[in-house]
Amino acid sequence: MKKFPKNLSIKLDNRKLNSSLRSLPLTNGLTDFASNDYLGLAKSETIFHSTHRYLVDNAIIQNGATGSRLLSGNHKLYNETEKYIAHFHDSESALMFNSGYDANVGFFGSVPQKGDLILYDELCHASIRDGILLSNAKAYKFDHNDFEDLEKLILRNPNATIYIVTESVFSMDGDTPNLDELAQLSNKYNCYLIVDEAHALGVFGEKGEGLVQMLGLQQQVFARIMTFGKGLGCHGAAVIGSQELSNYLVNFARSFIYTTGLSPHSLATVLMAYNYLKIDNKNNTLLRENILHFNQEKNILGMKQLFVRSKSAIQSAIMPGNENVKSIARKLQEKGFDVKAILSPTVPEGQERLRFCIHSYNSKEEISDLLALLSTFVF
């Protein structure tokens, strides 16, 4: 076998020295406080059986050939699913991608043009940053949720077409920006607002529509990126916006053009998951109750100061130091709780944390026991 390049070995060795080397974890039987399956739809027998039944009842089988949607991969289910998603999100159009990463890379790599300006929150996800790197537009980050800093950047570039980028729920902190204020600022300067709703879908809104729609701001946002692999528990994502935006992405988003389309089974699963949100909000209600219980318990135990303020399903306790946070995570895992340590450089050095993901299927007793145990390790 060819010898591994020395410069790559050095990078791996540096990760080991910093206690930040990643490895693939095995699935386990621990109580889940780690996955993004907030509503438990990934394990839903209802969705599993309804997907199968839908495919059989409509005589839908896998295409004999696969390919890009511009070639042989544009199954008729795409049209039905995208129409359903657009209607659910009170939007003119929805265009599906194979993942949230593909959607962000495709959008930001193609929409902002040379001479345009992208202003993005400093804590935006890596997929957004990677898409920005593919763009010919200039890009600057603004301080996290700091709209005064954002406005200063806008005022320095009065003649540019400006795209403002944020997330409705930040994946490592679980906090949310003031979207009302951000929409007003965007309108004031005629900017284009893009909101990634990956961790808000299924969590916020009466039927889990997301934070933008819950606040009634959908007509003030140029594009929403909806990722299905979290709250919906299935593969894929969609860019929500105008029909003209969808037409543009079909023609210029490389991660859309040069990717094999999803299978009919994957599309039917997305459709059934959205239909589940529409007709049954039981899991959504349970999730909200568990988020409230988690916040109440951490306050009672005197741990409020450890946590980033969050009303979402993501709760993060700052525990500086890779070895320190890994040690506490191991102790929790040994007691039966699947809690993950988030290490630098994924988060800035000194901001290492335990990341707790709350689910509709967690019991209040599990939440109370977990936080009581955590308190014995940090005090």
- In the numeric block, the tokens 């389309």 are attached to 261
pTM of the model: 0.94
Question: Among the three residues 216, 249, 279, which one is the final residue of a domain in this structure?
Answer: 279
Looking at every residue in the chain, the average pLDDT score rounds to: 95
Q: Give the integer Cα–Cα distance in Å for 249 and 246.
A: 5
Residue 81 has pLDDT above 90, yes or no: yes
Residue 360 has pLDDT above 90, yes or no: yes
Domain range for residue 370?
28-43+281-378
Number of domains within the chain: 2
Q: Where are the alpha helices (DSSP H) in the chain?
A: 6-17, 45-57, 76-88, 100-110, 126-134, 147-155, 179-188, 211-214, 243-252, 254-257, 264-279, 282-300, 322-334, 364-378
Q: Give the integer Cα–Cα distance in Å for 355 and 369.
A: 16
296 and 201 share one domain: no
Angle ∠(83,88,90) on CA atoms, nearest 5: 95
80 and 187 share one domain: yes
From residue 362, how far is each of 32, 229, 286, 365 by CA, in Å? 8, 19, 9, 8
160 burial type by CB count under 10 A (0-12 exposed, 13-18 middle, 19+ buried): middle
- The whole-number pLDDT of residue 2 equals 86
330 and 312 share one domain: yes
Question: Among the three residues 230, 257, 279, which one is the final residue of a domain in this structure?
Answer: 279
183 within a domain of the structure (yes/no): yes
Q: Give the integer Cα–Cα distance in Å for 127 and 35.
A: 19
230 and 342 share one domain: no
- The whole-number pLDDT of residue 63 equals 55
285 and 260 share one domain: no
Q: Give per-residue pLDDT as tens, 231-246.
A: 999 999 999 999 999 9
333 and 185 share one domain: no
275 and 350 share one domain: no
Are 203 and 209 in contact, with CB atoms under 8 Å apart?
Answer: no
Question: Among the three residues 279, 313, 339, which one is the final residue of a domain in this structure?
Answer: 279
12 within a domain of the structure (yes/no): no
In three-state form (DSSP H/G/I as H, E/B as E, the rest C), the secondary structure along 229-270 is CCCCCCCCEEEEECHHHHHHHHHHCHHHHCCECCCHHHHHHH
266 and 286 share one domain: no
Segment 310-328 mean pLDDT? 96
List the CATH number of the domain containing 365. Answer: 3.90.1150.10
138 and 197 share one domain: yes
233 and 343 share one domain: no
Residue 65 has pLDDT above 80, yes or no: no
The amino acid occupying position 151 is E
Q: Give per-residue pLDDT as tens, 339-352.
A: 999 999 999 999 99
Q: Give per-residue pLDDT as tens, 248-261.
A: 999 999 999 999 99
Q: Give the up-direction half-sphere exposure of residue 374: CA atoms within 13 A in the CB hemisphere.
A: 32
